[in-house]
Structure 1
Amino acid sequence: MAPDGRDGSAGGPRLVRPYALTSGRTESVVDLPIEATFEVQPSGRSSTWPEGNLSGRIIELCSAADSVAEVSAKLHIPLGVARVLLGDLVTAGHLKTRTTISENTTSDERRELIERTLSGLRAL
């Protein structure tokens, strides 16, 4: 069985319930909006992850600047589970959250984020 709970066949049934991947936790200790992206820290790059390990796969995806939503979709796990797992990696120092929008964000920066979001949705 694959570490993500699949039986190895494409589209096969999930054998591990999503909450088992997070030890029953449903909330991340880190506030992560779905559009948040990450920067892999040196400890994340230097860690040796077992082949197929879910944390290792998340680190690989975050190397390509994937967002919380993209990690969730690409790993076929619920958004809440992705948030908890990503939060664990942030807390452990393997990932750093990149801010997307704050109170000081300019109108141009907000517009650019909306345009990137629309572009990504159109690409789907």
Structure 2
Amino acid sequence: MRMRDEDPVVRPFMLTGGRTQPVQDGLRIETQLHAVPAALSAPLRFEARQIVELCQRPMSIADLSSALVAPLGVVRVIVADLIAEGYMLVEDARGELSVALIERIVDRVRAL
């Protein structure tokens, strides 16, 4: 992972092949994700590999964006690709968001 002090080596659009919209729409920043066990042995590269490793426990798109020091839009595109390829699952989020989760999301977005 890249340190916050470092200059980006790769432009964000390069990480998504120039795409700005995810293949699966409806992914919100609070969407909770979990990697399937087989994803750890999949031939994934760079940020996709890091996302799979981070999502061994449920994690939101906002948390991933903060952990990777990558723009939310880029993370949404990569995550949507991982979902389409069957490496990532969207956690069933029924009901309203808890106050603690909303505060955590706000903190992560501010950290960007």
In the comparison of the two structures, how many residue pairs are matched?
107
TM-score by length of 1: 0.73
Q: In the alignment, is the contact (CA less than 8 A) between 1:37 and 1:68 conserved in 2?
A: yes
Paired letter, 1:47: A
Residues 67 and 24 (structure 1), Cα distance of their counterparts in 2 relative to 1, 3 Å cut: same
In the alignment, which residue of structure 2 is the partner of 1:17?
A: 11
Percent of paired sites with the same residue: 31
Q: In the alignment, is the contact (CA less than 8 A) between 1:32 and 1:83 conserved in 2?
A: yes
Q: CA RMSD in A?
A: 2.5
Q: In the alignment, is the contact (CA less than 8 A) between 2:63 and 2:105 conserved in 1?
A: no
Tell me by how many angstroms 1:115 deviates.
2.2
TM-score by length of 2: 0.80
Which structure 1 segments of 5+ residues have no match?
A: none
Which structure 2 segments of 5+ residues have no match?
A: none
Where in structure 1 do 4 or more consecutive aligned residues deviate above 4 Å? 121-124
In the alignment, which residue of structure 2 is the partner of 1:120?
A: 104
Residues 83 and 122 (structure 1), Cα distance of their counterparts in 2 relative to 1, 3 Å cut: closer
